[in-house]
Amino acid sequence: MNRWLLPQDRVPEAWYNVTPHLGDALAPPLHPATRQPVGPDDLAPLFPMELIAQEVSTEPWITIPGPIIDVLRLWRPTPLVRARRLEEALDTPARIYFKDESVSPAGSHKPNTAVAQAYYNASGGVQRLATETGAGQWGSALSFAGALFGLEVKVYMVRASYLQKPYRRVLMETWGASVVPSPVDEPEHPGSLGTAISDAVRDAASRDDTHYALGSVLNHVLLHQTVIGLEAREQLQMAGEERPDVVIGCCGGGSNLGGISLPFVPDAAVRLLAVEPSSCPTLTKGAFDYDFGDVAGLTPLLAMYTLGHDFVPPAIHAGGLRYHGDSPIISALVRSGRMEAVAYPQKDIFEAAVKFARTQGTVCAPETGHAIRAVIDEALVAKEAGEERVILFDYSGHGLLDLSAYDDFLNDRLID
């Protein structure tokens, strides 16, 4: 066996909320003007009340509404796969498992929260959502979810990606979304996630019919992604594994990493490992401080590892990892030592991604390549030690809309 499937009625019925487990390690967001903790009313112009409540909830489990589960069942539970061919190529005693989130309609883990956010906004009477997207995985996911819940979706796409990745724009438009390059008022600026968040927040704050949606970083986003780890834990047991020795995910804002790893936080025997690009080394070289989520300073201040909200990372291909900050939950886990972090240059990433494609068959997103790089290194350490370690990672998305990155790697045009 190399794939473990769960029937549709085993989509988790509740999200796992790790925040009670973190206690005081999680500092509250501050209002950008007053620097006092933000309250629900401060956030109400941007988010529906259910999501605001989830952002600060201390309940350990939060029930998933039926209409969300109905949509998740279009592709969930996702397969847990053992990468036996990669193991054989590495000649490692490690057993490597991955949770395949690339099977969603939008091709990544992002729909897990996009569907929830679209549902809560639609059921709260909102007609329109504004959001940002970098490489396009999040914008695609929200466009898909908006189409299913009858919401108009406006996506502010980082201009450099908008110009380099027209297929991503077309995908969003196929689901009915409207996509414009950001920053909207500086046509020569290449843009960044920080500028696009500013554009989307301004849009949502200026219209009564519109809310804002964020694809990572916030507590409620990571909460929605915990279906990944919850399913994976059950599937690992089907595979005969008591627990993973290490859980690995790439980390930009932290949503796929949180999704696969948070359900394992209480089990101290499980190592957790974040993988980021060395050109945007938030967790490995950033400072832990209060900072804005966007360039313009419109968002609340979050307590997190940050490279500074005006940091513009180099144009690496893993656009989803080009973010100056990080999820407060992930930041707290790293700061406390519960989670480790490592950074790699992108040539190392694509070397690993191509090895994966030529052994396991599938071509991953550049973001996912970061996790695979770390998995290979962990498997080689296990080989060196002669130990049968169990490695679990999140295969967060496919790379079918990122093939120009592979072209650059195969033709030695990558710059680190």
**What is the binding site for a copy of itself (CB under 8 A)?**
1-3, 5, 7-9, 73-74, 85, 103, 105, 107, 144, 147-148, 166-167, 170-171, 173-176, 354, 357-363, 398, 400-401, 403-404, 406-407, 410
State the Cα–Cα distance between residues 355 and 376, nearest whole angstrom.
Answer: 10
Least distance CB 416 / a copy of itself (angstroms):
20
The total of other beta-carbon atoms located within 10 Å of residue 200's CB is 26
Looking up tokens 């009858």, which residue turns up?
A: 150
Least distance CB 406 / a copy of itself (angstroms):
5
Contact 200, 131 (CB under 8 A): yes
Least distance CB 80 / a copy of itself (angstroms):
12
Nearer to a copy of itself (CB atom), residue 111 or residue 183: 111
Least distance CB 316 / a copy of itself (angstroms):
18
Assigned token pair, 97: 């498992």
CA dihedral 256, 338, 81, 215 (to 10 degrees): 0
Nearer to a copy of itself (CB atom), residue 141 or residue 391: 141
Nearer to a copy of itself (CB atom), residue 177 or residue 217: 177
Q: Please, which residues have CB within 8 angstroms of residue 214's CB and are 6 or more apart in sequence?
A: 131, 197, 221, 293
How far CA 27 is from CA of 142, 186, 290, 331, 415, in Å, comes to: 28, 35, 9, 11, 37
Q: Letter for the amino acid at 179?
A: V
Least distance CB 232 / a copy of itself (angstroms):
17
Nearer to a copy of itself (CB atom), residue 118 or residue 270: 118
Phi then psi for 113, rounded to 5 degrees? -95, -30
Least distance CB 84 / a copy of itself (angstroms):
9
Nearer to a copy of itself (CB atom), residue 76 or residue 389: 76
Residue (of 357, 347, 382, 336) closest to 94 by Cα position: 382
Least distance CB 159 / a copy of itself (angstroms):
18
Least distance CB 128 / a copy of itself (angstroms):
17
CA dihedral 27, 219, 316, 391 (to 10 degrees): 100
Assigned token pair, 181: 């390059």
State the Cα–Cα distance between residues 45 and 358, nearest whole angstrom.
Answer: 48
- From the number of C-beta atoms within 10 Å of its C-beta (0-12, 13-18, 19+), residue 10 rates as middle
Nearer to a copy of itself (CB atom), residue 35 or residue 358: 358
Report CA 360 to chain centroid distance, whole Å.
23
Least distance CB 169 / a copy of itself (angstroms):
8
Nearer to a copy of itself (CB atom), residue 146 or residue 325: 146
Q: At what angle do helices 366-385 and 346-359 cross, to 10 degrees?
A: 80
Least distance CB 365 / a copy of itself (angstroms):
12
Contact 289, 264 (CB under 8 A): no
State the Cα–Cα distance between residues 20 and 25, nearest whole angstrom.
Answer: 10
Q: Please, which residues have CB within 8 angstroms of residue 146's CB and are 6 or more apart in sequence?
A: 118, 129, 152, 153, 175, 176, 177
Nearer to a copy of itself (CB atom), residue 154 or residue 309: 154
The total of other beta-carbon atoms located within 10 Å of residue 62's CB is 18
Nearer to a copy of itself (CB atom), residue 13 or residue 173: 173
Nearer to a copy of itself (CB atom), residue 100 or residue 132: 100
